[in-house]
Amino acid sequence: MTNLKNLDTGALEELGEKLRERILEVVSQNGGHLTSSLGAVEIIMAMHHVFDAAKDPFIFDVSHQAYAHKLLTGRWDEFSTLRQFGGVCGFTKPSESKFDYFVAGHSSTSISAAVGAAKAIALKGEDRVPVVLIGDGSMTAGMVYEALNELGHHKYPMVIILNDNEMSIAKPMGAISAYLSKALSSKTYQGLKKRVEGALEKLPSSVDYMMRRFERGFKLITPGILFEELGLDYIGPADGHDIKELIEIFGIAKSMKKPVIVHVQTTKGKGYAPAEGKHEHWHGVAPFDKDKGELSKSKARSATAIFSDKLFELAQRDEKVVGVTAAMPSGTGIDKLLEAYPTRFWDVAICEQHAVTSMAAMAKEGFKPFVAIYSTFLQRAYDQIVHDVALQNLPVVFAIDRAGIVGEDGETHQGAFDISYLRSIPNIEIFAPRDEKSLIAAMDYAYGLDRPCAFRYPRGAFGVDGEFESAPFESGRSELLIDAPSDALFVGYGNGVAKAYKTLQILKNEDINVALLDMRFVKPIDKDAFKELSKRYKKWFVFSDGVKMGGIGEILSLFLQEEGISDVKVDSFEFDDLFITHGKTATVEESLGLLPTQLAQKVGNILKTGRRFESPTAI
């Protein structure tokens, strides 16, 4: 671990340049979160200078900005493996380093975690202080204010560093505000404030009332009024790239022995001109040419782009079509709708719960809402899906992006659970397209449906494109794509159809014939079709990018049991009961034994020997 405590300002500034160079070098080669990490370098150095990372819990919200922290805690050399399979994770991960206090990847959890840590520290009577680094975007989520509400009541010692890199929390209001903000962070002001507060307790009630009215009026022209009213002390705004000022302010905050918000303002992408400022496309990047400052573009058309174009078409056709996303406008393809129809499409920031409930009300008013959210983030709105949408049987459409393995972002972002967590909810229909044509057909079906529904699609391009014609979607109807003179049937769902088809092609070259069914719906399932298929095919193999527990294999096994069909065996190639690590998608799939070549070998062995497949990684 790098010891920063004895470094002077000049040495720290030189180290900051080296950190930025290393981050830029590795991210340009591996991809990753660039602008947020470049913008937080001085903050993280000041944290390590003032606090003790081996003792004080360093809690990074989302933690996509924590690259400098990783570099300063003994991972300089192995940082070259960032986001690669078996390498350094792109987020904080306690199993990777003792200096990564808490798992992160989703937004707005940090202050709640810090409150819990502060309670434990108080109960154990230890001299430690939780330190939180949270961005202004994360401050839009309600969980933050739940935590701040309790923190303001109990007054646990804590330092919360608010990294305002979009200036959306509080812009400086001219010269007076700039002066007041600097004064608020001075030792003189903090000492004066403490003395005044003490004096107010001793004043007669009438004078005390007038003085407190003056104090409240003074707060109204400072940026910290919100936090002060919640019972927290506020310092700032401060220059988040002035290492000397940050060290001084963090030292003051630490010495106060109570909850303090330190508001710092930074520039995203600091130190790399092409990425500096409010450029969303530089936030999370694939490998790029750092010398030219050019991002590489995928040649294949993504499922997200197909969704975006089709939704645009529906919105042009019907003014009742509306939509929402939660802080992922470009990631979900809603950005072009926001620009074209700003009164009908919304980015509500990191507020998935609010997004879902607000669209439920719009559905009640006769509109047709599309909720575009990543699979991993839709988890955050589960109660709203159940209570506010499904219970009232409102026709909200959930467009679930990033379903399946998403690659380098790893455990916190894999879209593995949506099939399982949605199918237990009454009133909702759940289906999935396999390619571009079927995604368009799925959206036409969802548009005309008078009840809640959800469909999923992968990150990037579909695995098949144009191999099959696509029939219109009908409720609970599957589609037999390939018939075969065999007793083996591949059951694919969503992008799993592509994996099944590729596996089938490998087996075909070995003179092993297998039929292929696109299941299309997991709720309701095509019972009539499966009854007929059970008469011809006695060995079913499931291909789906979701977990086994509550997944397609269990759905089919339950169906067979309920129908009293005992001569059909089901083998599932879904994900085992574990969190899936980060790395390139193909590499991760290989580690799970889920590449088409591996699956073909497993299927071939089963068909030849009659023995069922047992996953070695199942728990």
Which residue numbers are catalytic? 268, 352, 380
Distance CA 476, CA 429 (A): 8
Q: Are 98 and 105 in contact (CB under 8 A)?
A: no
User: 3-class DSSP state for residue 348?
Assistant: coil
Burial of 255 (0-12, 13-18, 19+ CB in 10 A): exposed
Q: State the number of CA atoms in the 13 A half-sphere of 582 facing the CB.
A: 23
Distance CA 303, CA 227 (A): 42
Parallel, antiparallel, or unpaired: how do β-strands 397-401 and 368-374 relate? parallel
Torsions phi, psi for 444 (to 5 deg): -60, -40
Judge if the upstream peptide bond of residue 524 is cis by omega within 30 degrees of 0: yes
Task: List all residues 6 or more positions away from 496 whose beta carbon is below 8 Å from its beta carbon.
Answer: 542, 543, 544, 545, 552
Structural element, H or E, at residue 606 = helix 596-609
**Residue that has been written with the tokens 């006695």 in this structure:** 538
Distance CA 602, CA 559 (A): 24
| Torsion sign across C-alpha atoms 215, 219, 220, 226 | negative
Q: Are 519 and 571 in contact (CB under 8 A)?
A: no
Q: Are 417 and 547 in contact (CB under 8 A)?
A: yes
Torsions phi, psi for 84 (to 5 deg): -90, 155
**Residue that has been written with the tokens 């089938």 in this structure:** 504
User: What Rg, from alpha-carbon coordinates, does the chain have?
Assistant: 27
Distance CA 444, CA 1 (A): 56
Torsions phi, psi for 131 (to 5 deg): -125, 120
**Residue that has been written with the tokens 């808490």 in this structure:** 102
User: How many whole angstroms from its chain centre is CA 10?
Assistant: 37
Distance CA 404, CA 400 (A): 10
Distance CA 538, CA 242 (A): 69
* 3-class secondary structure per residue, 368-410: EEEEEEEHHHHHHHHHHHHHHHHCCCCCCEEEEECCECCCCCH
Helices 110-124 and 142-154 cross at an angle (nearest 10°) of 20
